[in-house]
Copies of this chain bind each other. A is one copy, B any other.
Amino acid sequence: MNKITAREKLLKAAGELFYNNGITATGIDSVINRAGVAKMSLYNNFKSKSDLVAAYIDARHQEWLDLYAIRSANLANGWERVLAIFDAYQDHAEFDYQNGFRGCGLLNAAAEMPANSIEREAVNRHKQEVRAIVHQQLSELPFTDDSPAHLTQLTEHICFLLEGAISLAGLSKDTGAITRARTMADQLIEQAL
């Protein structure tokens, strides 16, 4: 029968409300109402709103990893697997566009939190992981300049393109920006080979 638990309903509702309206602006009552769940079900599953936010951040991170796993499966080389990162974000953008694409949910979450908060650190870890994937995939390619410094610089360049494109795509409601950033990354890699 695979019943949907209150926890799952809460994470789904929180995911939608947090992404669309922001975390601070979203009250506990909105979340439980949208989830169709009793308030105590929230506090039986999560210690506090902060705990729910932490679970939300975690779920978004995992969601992206899953999208990337699908997009990068069966690809021939690191080049294609780097471009698949853009595809994974594109999938993400298309998915959220129904309720109005607002850029990266994790970056938006971080934007609401004070410096040095655990939430910002969690989002930073996510972005570092994305960077590590870019670095790993690029390291398999035979660049003309195969120094570690060049690899690091190219990695960072692609990460900047990625984050910039997603943020500006969300602002200007032009998800095509992500595709164009993908093309830029593609040309960048081609040039360096």
Contact = CB atoms under 8 A, between A and B. Distances in A.
A181 B157 CA distance: 7
Kindly report how many copies of this chain are found in the complex they form together.
2
Interface string A151-166: 0010011011111110
A22 B167 contact: no
Contacts of A161: 157, 160-161, 164
A143 to B, nearest CB: 15
A99 interface: yes
Contact of A127 (B101, B113, B156, B168): B168
Interface string A129-163: 00000000000000000000000010011011111
A165 B171 contact: no
Contact of A168 (B100, B108, B120, B159): B159
A112 B115 contact: no
Given A22-B24, A22-B114, A103-B111, 4 more contacts: A24-B25, A102-B111, A102-B114, A161-B161
22 contacts: A22-B24, A24-B112, A100-B115, A102-B115, A102-B120, A107-B111, A107-B167, A107-B171, A108-B111, A108-B112, A111-B111, A112-B112, A127-B168, A127-B171, A156-B180, A157-B161, A159-B168, A160-B184, A161-B161, A163-B164, A163-B168, A164-B164
